[in-house]
Amino acid sequence: MGMNKNTVLGWATFIMIFVGLALIALGAFRYDDVAGWGFAAVGIGFFAIAWVFNALKGRV
């Protein structure tokens, strides 16, 4: 199973989106106070990093 840079970046993007969704869901449903906002902010940060990975995919 050959993993070139594009495959690795693709999987990293998928994992980041999944983790970001999980964190936002945790913040939305598990915690009602300020901690929920922290989880949501980290989740959005994961989305931003996934977006950067996706943008880099063709250029690396």
Distance CA 21, CA 25 (A): 6
Q: Is the pLDDT of residue 43 over 60?
A: yes
Of 4-8, 11-15, 16-20, least confident by mean pLDDT is 4-8
Instruction: Give the per-residue pLDDT at 27.
Output: 73
Instruction: Give the per-residue pLDDT at 51.
Output: 83
Instruction: Give the per-residue pLDDT at 60.
Output: 58
Instruction: Give the per-residue pLDDT at 59.
Output: 65
Global pTM reads 0.56
Distance in angstroms between the alpha carbons of the first and the last residue of the chain: 20
